[in-house]
Amino acid sequence: MAGIYIHIPFCKKLCYYCDFYHVVSVNDNSAFIDALLKEASLRKDYLKSETISTIYLGGGTPSVFSIKDLGTILNHIRKLFKIAEDCEITIELNPDDVQSAYLKGLKYNQINRISLGIQSWRDSDLKMLNRRHDSAQGIIALNETLNAGFENVSIDLIYGIPGMSLKDWESNLDFSFSFDIKHMSAYHLTFEPGTVFGKMLEKGTISEIDENESAAQFNHLIEKAESAGFIQYEISNFGKLSYFSIHNSNYWKQVSYLGLGPSAHSFNGYSRQWNIRDLKGYVKFVNAGKPFFESEELDTKKRFNEYIITSLRTMWGIDLEYVEGMFEKEGYDYVVNLAEKFRNYGLMKLEKKSLVLTNQGKLISDNIISEFMMPGDE
């Protein structure tokens, strides 16, 4: 089983926090679509005829594309690859693009999972983030999506936004759980270098929220999501039972995937590839049949570090049997010895034969992960 990620790099407006590769334009996309189809044909053997169990249309904003264009892309993929009958096909939608005719078109193209970029239900947050939609549009979009009969609906939320109090965040969560959503991705706002917020932080015209407030918002997220019936299967991802994102879970379980479009990444167990982060260059190079991606072979250290980065953030944690099988006694001893200190501090625990983070540990997951990194992987 393998996955396909398709990056649609267009946005109508720039969100101040966003570092995902995108260009602010909705002009003629035909040159991009031609290049994307060509890339898929050129790279169809990367996954070695594995059956495709997930397809993910992400961005940027896939919902700036017409149903016809999305259909062209998906039909081309269906022709090139063996697609599982129960393939999870996700699309990211921006709330102000959601209309009932559009939703029908998505269904017609067998898209069966919707990820809606709500971010917040508070107009002041949405304004601050420079989102295109307001909270009323968010409510209409979510209701329309559910009424259109999509069963597997996820929303994205952001917390830790300057000006958002613990009470505001709690109300955002309560309001979210009043809808029949099956999944939620909740991210702490990060100030990425080069973004508008990143630059404002550098200049001192905005500041990050206080560490204690941050921790309180994270703890409330875990508690509230759990009492609403969601399982935190990854630090930022919460799903009802049987509704975890198969696509994202595959990233964390070392399943192979092919990424198409500018900036998209691919992985097949032994190598990692990343496409250039430049739309014009991407189109030009694909059409000229020139290399449009960089790649690296993963040696044992790199594969070990990748495994730790992807597994430790999940509820499945570091599988010690897997570590012993893949990285032999040396890898196993390294992990077990290092974990002892974190277990003594109550930051990690042993569950069956896996090492998982406790809620305390999740708060400082990045620090713990960096301590596990094997040196020499530059």
Ligand X SMILES: C[S@@+](CC[C@H](N)C(=O)[O-])C[C@H]1O[C@@H](n2cnc3c(N)ncnc32)[C@H](O)[C@@H]1O
Look at strands 231-234 and 183-188 and give their pairing.
unpaired
**Distant-in-sequence, close-in-space partners of 230: CB < 8 Å, separation ≥ 6:** 183, 184, 238, 239, 240
58 binds, among ligand SF4, ligand X, none (CB under 5 to 8 A by kind): ligand X
Q: Which stretch in 57-65, 73-81, 206-214, 216-224 sits in contact with ligand X by CB under 6 A?
A: 57-65
| 95 binds ligand SF4, rule: CB under 6 A | no
Among 63, 72, 94, 109, binds ligand SF4 (CB under 6 A): 94
192 touches which of ligand X, ligand SF4, none (CB within 5 to 8 A by kind)?
ligand X
In angstroms, give the least distance from the CB of 96 to ligand SF4: 10
Asked if 332 is part of the footprint of ligand SF4 (rule: CB under 6 A), the reply reads no
159 near 189, Cβ under 8 Å? yes
| Position 64 contacts ligand SF4 (CB under 6 A) | no
43 binds, among ligand SF4, ligand X, none (CB under 5 to 8 A by kind): none
In 3D space, the residue among 156, 169, 161, 166 whose CA is nearest the CA of residue 119 turns out to be 156
Q: Give yes or no for a contact between 172 and 102, defined as CB atoms under 8 angstroms apart.
A: no
Rounded to 5 degrees, what angle do the CA atoms 372, 374, 378 make?
A: 125
Query: Could you tell me if 236 and 252 are in contact, meaning their C-beta atoms sit under 8 angstroms apart?
Result: no
Residue 155, interface with ligand X (CB under 6 A)?
no
Cβ-based nearer residue to ligand SF4, 117 or 361: 117
The whole-angstrom separation of Cα 322 and Cα 340 is: 18
The overall longest dimension of the chain from CA atoms, in Å, is 58
Binding mask 229-258 for ligand X (x = CB under 6 A): ------------------------------
Q: Least distance in Å: CB of 90 to ligand X?
A: 11
Q: How far is the CB of 178 from ligand SF4 (least distance, A)?
A: 24
Q: Which residue type, as a one-letter code, is found at position 251?
A: Y
Min dist. Cβ of residue 211 to ligand SF4 (A): 25
The one-letter amino acid code at 105 reads G
Backbone angles phi, psi at 267, to 5 degrees: -150, 135
Question: Residue 125 in contact with residue 156, Cβ under 8 Å?
Answer: no
- 61 touching ligand SF4, by CB under 6 A: yes
Which of 18, 326, 338, 369 touches ligand SF4 by CB under 6 A? 18
Contacts with ligand X, 59-98, as mask; x by CB under 6 A: x-x------------------------------x-x----
Among 4, 9, 10, 17, binds ligand X (CB under 6 A): 17
Q: Nearer to ligand SF4 by C-beta: 95 or 361?
A: 95
**Distance of alpha carbon 298 from alpha carbon 306, whole angstroms:** 9
Are the C-beta atoms of 121 and 150 separated by less than 8 Å? Answer: no
Contact 262, 9 (CB under 8 A): yes
Which region, judged by CB under 6 A, interacts with ligand SF4, from 11-19, 26-34, 292-300, 341-349? Answer: 11-19
Please count the other Cβ atoms lying within 10 Å of the Cβ belonging to residue 196.
Answer: 17
Distance CA 366, CA 308 (A): 11
Rule CB under 6 A: is residue 15 a binding residue for ligand SF4? yes
* Rounded least distance, CB 351 to ligand SF4, Å: 35
Nearer to ligand X, 56 or 304 (CB): 56
Among 11, 70, 118, 164, binds ligand SF4 (CB under 6 A): 11
What residues does 8 pair with on adjacent strands? 59
**Binding of ligand SF4 by 22 (CB under 6 A):** yes
Cβ proximity to ligand X: between 59 and 259 the closer is 59
Question: How far is Cα 305 from Cα 245, in angstroms, rounded to an integer?
Answer: 23
Rounded to whole angstroms, the Cα distance separating 195 from 15 reads 9
Distance in angstroms (rounded) separating the CA atoms of residues 91 and 72: 15
Site residues (vs ligand SF4, CB under 6 A): 11, 14-15, 18, 20, 22, 59-61, 94, 117
